[in-house]
Structure 1
Amino acid sequence: MQLTSKFDEAPWQRASDLARFKRIESEGYVIRLLQLDAGFEESDWCDKAHIGYVVEGELQVTFQDGVRTLCAGDVLTTLHGPASAHRGAVNHGTVTLFLVDPPQ
């Protein structure tokens, strides 16, 4: 096992006016802590695999077969590939989300 960094030491980075994140890579995994504000909406479909945990807030995730609402304490898992394509959105408040992207 290799410890590469601590989230406290990782700088916040801006993805947009409504999204910021901390990112650590370790042994092929990408580990992110995200904060998404109301009005955030992904414009493109993501087809990457994720394992996620909603720390706080309410996240709307659109899949090809419908929308799921994830609340604090909920876990998200998606597989890699077009069949698992998804987009996230935040309708109100702020969402804090912990995501792990396994090696592709």
Structure 2
Amino acid sequence: MKMDEIPFCTTDWNNVEKTEHKGETGVAYWRTRLFGPSDNQMRVRMVEYSAGYLADHWCSKGHVLFCMAGQLETTLEDGRKFTLTPGMSYQVADNAEAHQSYTEGGATLFVVD
């Protein structure tokens, strides 16, 4: 990730519009900001997963993901599972290891990709 042409700014996430993204089960609400030039944008999101959320796809996008609240279970295509609790994060590169998210009780995440 190359962070170019991003002036200093602050974000009040409470004022960023939520968009709804249905999972295989449950729903995700994203608050999304884009930073940088159009050919190298950095997407920054506050994501809230409802209880019982299961992503409807295997994701190959790289992320830095920080768990702020709740608990998130991430399964990799090879079957390994990782559980994040508040204060934990994971990092994965683009096209490195496809992953799928699940939360039993809901989770709030901060994601940069």
Q: TM (normalized to structure 2)?
A: 0.80
Identity, in percent, stands at 25
In structure 2, do the counterparts of structure 1 residues 84 and 18 end up closer, same or farther at CA, with 3 Å as the change threshold? same
Q: CA deviation at 1:64?
A: 2.4
In structure 2, do the counterparts of structure 1 residues 5 and 73 end up closer, same or farther at CA, with 3 Å as the change threshold? closer
Amino acid at match of 2:84: L
Q: Which runs of 5+ in 2 are unaligned?
A: 1-5
String of CA shifts for 1:33-68, please: whole Å, max 9, x gaps: 011011110121100110011000110000123111
Computing the radius of gyration from Cα coordinates, the structure with the larger value is: 2
2:52–2:106 contact (8 Å) kept in structure 1: no
1:4–1:24 contact (8 Å) kept in structure 2: no
Partner of 1:63: 76
- Pairing partner for 2:90 from 76, 81, 93: 76
After superposing on structure 2, the runs of 4+ consecutive aligned residues of structure 1 that deviate more than 6 Å are none
Greater relative CO, 1 or 2 (CA 8 Å, sep 6+): 1
- Pairing partner for 1:15 from 1, 7, 21: 21
Q: TM (normalized to structure 1)?
A: 0.86
1:60–1:69 contact (8 Å) kept in structure 2: yes
Matched residues in 2 for 1:33 and 1:5: separation?
Answer: 11
Q: CA deviation at 1:18?
A: 2.0
1:7–1:24 contact (8 Å) kept in structure 2: no
Q: Which runs of 5+ in 1 are unaligned?
A: none
1:23–1:32 contact (8 Å) kept in structure 2: yes
Number of aligned residue pairs:
99
Amino acid at match of 2:94: H
Q: CA deviation at 1:96?
A: 0.3
Taking the TM superposition and a 5 Å limit, the aligned residue runs for 1:41-60 are 41-60=54-73
Taking the TM superposition and a 5 Å limit, the aligned residue runs for 1:30-45 are 30-45=43-58
| RMSD, aligned α-carbons | 1.6
Structure number having the greater strand percentage: 1
